[in-house]
Amino acid sequence: DTGVSQDPRHKITKRGQNVTFRCDPISEHNRLYWYRQTLGQGPEFLTYFQNEAQLEKSRLLSDRFSAERPKGSFSTLEIQRTEQGDSAMYLCASRRGQAKETQYFGPGTRLLVL
């Protein structure tokens, strides 16, 4: 396993701009999760996929946020019209679908909205 990778690792943008993040899960992991972590807090769930199907979305995921996993492999998280409150670390995790499997986390994308 090469691990979960995320790109970019850092992103600085101006308020109102759109940003897109990518997550590449561990191969053969059919479940993929997005979390958001702000300073001094634990990660908060945003959304997750089983293969290409988006199974659950948090109420934190406003209509400015959209996530896709078109072929059941990598996933993208887009934030439209960014706001300063969107500044956070965005974490991706993946796992196999079987019971008792562990979620493996990527290094995260740190977003700063100016």
Partner 1 sequence: AQTVTQSQPEMSVQEAETVTLSCTYDTSESDYYLFWYKQPPSRQMILVIRQEAYKQQNATENRFSVNFQKAAKSFSLKISDSQLGDAAMYFCACSRNSGNTPLVFGKGTRLSVIA
What residues from 5 to 24 belong to the interface with partner 1 (CB under 8 A)?
Answer: none
User: Which amino acid does the sequence have at 21?
Assistant: F
How big is the site for partner 1, counted in residues (CB under 8 A)?
27
3-state secondary structure 59-84: CCCCCCEEEECCCCCCEEEEECCCCH
Give 25 or 108: the residue with its C-beta nearer to partner 1: 108
Q: Note whether 103 binds partner 1 by CB under 8 A.
A: yes
CB of 81 to partner 1, least distance (A): 25
Q: Where does residue 52 rank: exposed (0-12), middle (13-18), buried (19+ CB within 10 A)?
A: middle
Give 12 or 81: the residue with its C-beta nearer to partner 1: 12
CB of 3 to partner 1, least distance (A): 8
